[in-house]
Amino acid sequence: QAKYKERGTVLAEDQLAQMSKQLDTFRTNLEEFASKHKQEIRKNPEFRVQFQDMCATIGVDPLASGKGFWSEMLGVGDFYYELGVQIIEVCLALKHRNGGLITLEELHQQVLKGRGKFAQDVSQDDLLRAIKKLKVLGSGFGLIPVGGTFLVQSVPAELNMDHTVVLQLAEKKGFVTVSEIRASLRWETERARQVLEHLLKEGMAWLDTQAPDEPQFWLPALFTELHSQEITPEEAKEAIP
């Protein structure tokens, strides 16, 4: 019994020592890689996607910690964490208008504007990855798939499958009516009403009672051409109390 246990101890300790050595070697390899290709990661969004996918495949999260090797040596961490800050600021600045829902496209535009001419290029994939990391902060960051793209949620509002489906329906025209929901989704009026009321309460939908046939529920998040107000980076910063 005792002997078996002893061997077990040695094995585990050995492996730990082995891991320590391998870690040192890996660190050196990564440094070399960084010296040659760090620019590639900085400048090339497609390469970043490849990089992230490969990490995911082998079970490694390069963005888990700013203290990780990947972050330290390739600078990927700072890139995404700073992007996270910019995303939070944009969402906060526009929340009063769209209730905490914004299309990925609009978010992308606003973030690029805030970053200025000389900053690195940022792709939509980059935004998605940054947002996924922000979830853990508990303020309700989430992604809702609509019409081939995403709506970014930045408030802790409860949005279940029913709400998501109605948002997807509204994506085509920017608004939706009870009749449309009944026709497309085969729901009863009451169910449609409840969902729309919830979106109204959360400030994500606005009610147009003057529409010709029946009230229309508009989603400001989906207004693309109607943007008149431009948020400057200063305004965005001020939005954080």
Q: Which of 45, 68, 147, 233 binds other proteins (CB under 8 A)?
A: 68
Nearest CB to other proteins, comparing residues 18 and 224: 18
Site for other proteins in 11-30 (CB under 8 A): 11-13, 15-16, 18-20, 22-23, 25-27, 29-30
- In the complex, the smallest distance separating the C-beta of residue 8 from other proteins, rounded to whole angstroms, is 4
Nearest CB to other proteins, comparing residues 42 and 147: 42
What is the C-alpha to C-alpha distance for residues 15 and 36, in angstroms, rounded to an integer? 31
- In the complex, the smallest distance separating the C-beta of residue 225 from other proteins, rounded to whole angstroms, is 27
Site for other proteins in 144-203 (CB under 8 A): 155-156, 197, 200-201, 203
HEC states along the chain? CHHHHHHHHHHHHHHHHHHHHHHHHHHHHHHHHHHHHHHHHHHCHHHHHHHHHHHHHHCCCCCCCCCCHHHHHHCHHHHHHHHHHHHHHHHHHHHHHHCCEEEHHHHHHHHHHHHCCCCCCCCHHHHHHHHHHHHHHCCCEEEEEECCEEEEEECCCCCCHHHHHHHHHHCCCCEECHHHHHHHHCCCHHHHHHHHHHHHHCCCCEEECCCCCCCEEECHHHCCCCCCCCCCHHHHHHCCC
Q: Which of 1, 117, 138, 226 binds other proteins (CB under 8 A)?
A: 138
Q: Which of 119, 137, 183, 211 binds other proteins (CB under 8 A)?
A: 137
Span interacting with other proteins, options 9-17, 102-110, 117-125, 180-188, rule CB under 8 A: 9-17
Nearest CB to other proteins, comparing residues 54 and 183: 54
- In the complex, the smallest distance separating the C-beta of residue 230 from other proteins, rounded to whole angstroms, is 21
Span interacting with other proteins, options 58-66, 118-126, 171-179, 227-235, rule CB under 8 A: 58-66
CB 185 within 8 A of CB 169: yes
- In the complex, the smallest distance separating the C-beta of residue 180 from other proteins, rounded to whole angstroms, is 19
The pair of three-digit structure tokens given for residue 33, joined into one six-digit string: 């890689």
Q: Does 116 bind other proteins (CB under 8 A)?
A: no
Q: How many residues bind other proteins (CB under 8 A)?
A: 72
Q: Does 47 bind other proteins (CB under 8 A)?
A: yes
